[in-house]
Amino acid sequence: MALKTAAQYEESLRKLNFKVYLQGELVEKPVDHPIIRPSMNSVKMTYELAQDPQYEELMTATSHLTGKKVNRFCHLHQSSDDLVKKVKMQRLLGQKTAACFQRCVGMDAINAVDSVTFEMDQKLGSNYHERFNKFLLQMQEEDWTVDGAMTDPKGDRSLSPSKQVDPDLFVHIVEKRADGIIVSGAKAHQTGAINSHWILVMPTIAMGKDDVDYAVSFCAPADAQGIFYIYGRQSCDTRKLEGGDIDVGNKQFGGHEALMVFDHVFIPWDNVFMCGEFEFSGALVERFAGYHRQSYGGCKVGVGDVLIGAAALAADYNGANKASHVKDKLIEMMHLNETLYACGIACSAEGHKTASGNYIIDLLLANVCKQNVTRFPYEIARLAEDIAGGLMVTMPSEKDLRSPEIGKVVEKYFRGVAGVSTENRMRILRLIENITLGTAAVGYRTESMHGAGSPQAQRIMIARQGNLEQKKELAKSIAGIVQK
C-alpha cells in the first residue's frame, strides 16, 4: 500500500478494538464520538495532503529501505534537507488544521530509536536494530500512524523509578519469558494515542543501574490486550456535544491527549528494542526530545499563522485595523512567529549524520527553538486576545444568535463594522478563543510550555550543549590572556 488515503485511514481505525474511557464511560465507537472525531480529522489531513501532487515534495519521501514513496511521517531523515522539509511540512499542517495533527511524536520516535538501537548493537552485539527495521518496514508499507510514548506519570519526582512506592508509576518489565516480556505501568499526556495504529514506547528519563527494569523500549498494537486509555479533558470540550459549530471555534479539527495504561501487556521479543540496557536510555531520551523540540518550530508556527490571521480579521471586523498600535501588535506577532520558524529551520540545516545513517538535528539549536516556544506563543496569544477584545469571552452562545426570540437582539448589539455579519464576527472571535483558551490550547498555548519537556529541561540541555568553556577560551584569546 505505502500511501493510505484519508478514507482508508479512517476505515483502518474502525477495525481496531480500542478500550477508551471518556468522562467515566466506555466509548463504543471512538471514531464517531463528537469529542474525539475532530482530532481524528487532523490526522486524516496528514493522509489527504500526501495524496495531493501540490504537496508531494513536503508530505512524502523515498524510503531508504525499499526505494518506494512513503508518507514523510514514516520516514527516517536521510539528509539535512529532509529535516528542513519536516519543519515545512509541520507548518503546512498547522496552517491547514489550526490544531495538533499528532503524527509528529511517532516520526520523532522512530528516528531516535533507529540511531540508538544501531549503536546498541554495535557495542553489545545485540539485534535490536534488525528488529526495529522490520517494524519500520511494516510501518512504511501500511502507512501506520504510530504514537511515540515517552512520558510516564513519574509520581514523586524526587525518587528514581525503582524507589517509587508504586512501581507502576513508570512503565517497567514485570516478567521476562522465553517468548517475550510482560510490562505494566502507564504513559501520560499521550498525543493522538487513540488515533494511532501502533505504540512505540521509550523510557522517560536516563536510567541508573538500579532501574534496569524501567530501561525498556518496545512497540505494540494500539489496541493490544491489556492496553486501555482514559481520554484527557480539555477546556470547552463539551461544546462539541451541543450540535452547533460557532461556539466550538474550530469544528472540524482538534487534538487529544490520553492516559495510556499497560496492564500486564505481553510484548514478543521481536517487538522489544531495549530491555535493561540502562546506559543507552539517556541517549534515547535526549535524541527523541531533540527531534520533538525541532518539531515545535513547525507545528506551532503553522497554528500561529492561523491565530495571527484571526487577530487581523478581528481587527477588521472591530473597525480597529487602521489603529497604529494594532498594526504594531500584528507585526510583533509575525516577528515572534517567524523567529520560532527560523530556529526550527536552523537546527535542521545544521543537522548531521548519525552512525546508523539517519540525520539528527543540531541539539543545541533544537533546545533553543523549544525554549523560545515556551515563551513566544504566550505573547502571540496575549496580543491576539488584546486585539480581539473582551467580547471574545463574554459574548452569548450560538443558540442565542439562532433564537427566534432574542436572535435579532444579539445580531443588533454585537455587530461590528457595516458589511460584516454578527455571525462572522462571532466565528472569528470563537476561533481565537479556541486557539488561546479552548480545546486547541492543548495543541498551541499550554502544550508550548510542557510538550517535549518543560522549560527547565531545555535549559539543562542548553547548558550541556552550549560549550561555555570554549567560549571562555575565545574571550581569553581576544583579550590576550595567556595561561601561566
Residues marked active site are found at 100, 104, 191, 257, 292, 296, 299, 447
Chain centroid to CA 150: how far? 12
Q: What is the pLDDT of residues 1-50, one digit of tens each?
A: 689 999 999 999 999 999 999 999 999 999 999 999 999 999 999 999 99
The pLDDT value recorded for residue 143 is: 98
d(CA 113, CA 187): 17
C-alpha dihedral over 139, 145, 151, 155, to 10 degrees?
Answer: -110
> What pLDDT score does 369 carry?
98
Q: Is residue 239's pLDDT more than 80? A: yes
Mean pLDDT over the full length of the chain: 97
pLDDT score of 438: 87
Is there a binding annotation on residue 191? yes
| The CA-based dihedral angle spanning residues 236, 241, 245, 251, taken in that order and rounded to the nearest 10 degrees | 70
10 Å Cβ neighbour count for 327? 14
What would the mean pLDDT of 92-118 be, rounded to a whole number? 98
Q: How confident is the model at residue 250 (pLDDT cuts 50, 70, 90)?
A: very high
Kindly report the number of other CB atoms within 10 A of residue 47's CB atom.
22
CATH architecture of 283-466: Up-down Bundle (1.20)
Residue 439 pLDDT:
82
pLDDT tens-place string over residues 444-467: 988 899 999 989 999 999 999 999
